[in-house]
Amino acid sequence: MSFWDDGRRRNTGFLLNSVLCNVGWFANVLLAAHKHPLWGPAAQVALVFLHVFLVCPLYELDWRGEVVLILASVLYAAVVESFLGYFFPVVPWTVAPPFILALWANFAMCLNVSLGFLKSTSFPWVPAVLGLVFGPVSYWSGIKLGAIEVPHDLMLFMALIAIEWCISFPFLVWLAKSQTPKVESVGTATPEQEA
């Protein structure tokens, strides 16, 4: 048995993904809070490259599928966040700010690795409940750290975010499940070859 067996490789990928995603969240939020809203997205681009070139090989993920998943998540976020900002004056933006889009890209990096277990759960409502609870927690943390300023009606804003993430989290898990196939290992027969 080699030192770099499948379990160690996957555990290393999981740990690296978790670290990259936490660094991404704090970089985007803290830099936006300190009035550098474009530095966080720039850092996020670097983190996506690290994810693609370090985590994807360790986790045997197709890097092209990961890039498509991340870009699709950002596009989805641009539409949803801008929709909320345009139609609900309580949301403090009319067009999704770059650091918010970078946070969605950061979240998408977790979908096949540290949150990958959600793709195989036999309870499809779990991502909806997690989104309902932890979407607002994430935004609340951003508010408390100074990245987001909600001028009035904080409760309505948090309710909108809860609904947004109750819908978005299951959608993104489904997108991850359908978008990112695993890379076939060398010498491993596919189900079609075995038949």
Amino acid at position 189, single letter: A
The answer to whether 121 and 181 have CB atoms below 8 angstroms apart is: no
Classified as helix, coil or strand, 182 is strand
- Sequence-distant (6+) residues with CB within 8 A of 183 are 60, 61, 62
Predicted model pTM: 0.87
- Structure-block tokens of residue 75: 């596009």
> Please, what is the end-to-end C-alpha distance for the chain in angstroms?
30
What is the residue-level pLDDT of the chain in tens, covering all 195 positions?
Answer: 455 677 888 899 999 999 999 999 999 999 999 999 899 999 999 999 999 999 999 999 999 999 999 999 999 999 999 999 888 877 788 889 999 999 999 999 999 999 999 998 878 899 999 999 999 999 999 999 999 888 778 899 999 999 999 999 999 999 999 875 555 544 444 445 444
